[in-house]
Amino acid sequence: MIASDKLTPPPGAAEPVRHPDAPAPGQLLGPHYDQCFGCGGDQPHGLHLAARAGEGVSVTAEFTVKAAHQGAPGLAHGGVLTSALDETLGALSWLLRTITVTGRLETDFLRPVPVDTTLHLDARVLAVAGRKIYSTAAGRLGAPEGPVAVRADALFVEVKVDHFVRHGRDREIQAAMADPDQVRRARAFEVNP
């Protein structure tokens, strides 16, 4: 399983640098947005994925597959598993203190994931080239050292808060901008080293 050319860091790409103000290893990161499908606590249809800072530029996360996440009887839907990987990779933003969005995401599905399984995810940044962040993630069955069920390689692209203000639906953007906690969370990403 080799990532496509588009996910291979170019020559001259830099090693990732953990931001000096990044959350300490082991710290829960919390949602970046309460309504997020991946991590939002106020999102009834969401995955409620909880991510923690790891060492270096890495995170771990847990996601328990619910009956609502089925594709085949008793098994998780592949798109839901990809969402869990996407969200875990997205949480690396907290370590870089850079806002990023997914540009490309390639998933390998290696083992079926039954309902009620807790998937133990980990993700790390491999390299950075300008606005492009190359990263990888895996999801293991039942335990941090369990068998790998899913893995992904990704390219995230750095954006500014304006990206969301420009493209987001007015109603949600207004609500987010009126919420001081949300504004603080969004702005925190834009502090440079």
CB of 74 to ligand 3VV, least distance (A): 27
Residue 80 touching ligand 3VV (CB under 6 A): no
Beta strands in the chain (DSSP E): 50-53, 58-64, 100-109, 118-129, 132-141, 148-158
The position carrying tokens 């997205």 is 90
Q: Torsion-angle region of residue 38: left (phi > 0), alpha (psi -120 to 50) or beta?
A: alpha
Nearest to 120 by CA among 149, 82, 95, 93: 149
Of positions 32, 52, 69, 124, contacts ligand 3VV by CB under 6 A = 32
Alpha helix (H) residue ranges in 18-167 = 78-90, 93-96, 162-167
Q: Nearer Cβ to ligand 3VV, position 86 or 122? A: 86
Alpha-carbon dihedral 189, 87, 40, 131, rounded to 10 degrees: 20
Total residues at the site for ligand 3VV (CB under 6 A)? 26
Q: Nearer Cβ to ligand 3VV, position 117 or 135? A: 135
Site string for ligand 3VV, 170-189 (x = CB under 6 A): ------xx----xx--x---
Of positions 9, 102, 108, 112, contacts ligand 3VV by CB under 6 A = 102
Which span (21-29, 67-75, 111-119, 128-136) binds ligand 3VV, by CB under 6 A? Answer: 128-136
Residue 104 touching ligand 3VV (CB under 6 A): yes
Q: Nearer Cβ to ligand 3VV, position 18 or 163? A: 163
Does residue 138 contact residue 148 with C-beta atoms inside 8 Å? yes
Residue 63 touching ligand 3VV (CB under 6 A): no
Q: Nearer Cβ to ligand 3VV, position 87 or 141? A: 87
Structure tokens at 45: 């249809």
CB of 48 to ligand 3VV, least distance (A): 14
Does residue 39 contact residue 88 with C-beta atoms inside 8 Å? no
Q: Which residues pair with 61 in a beta bridge?
A: 51, 121
Binding site for ligand 3VV (CB under 6 A): 6, 32-33, 38, 86-87, 90, 99, 101-104, 130-132, 155, 157, 159, 161, 164-165, 176-177, 182-183, 186
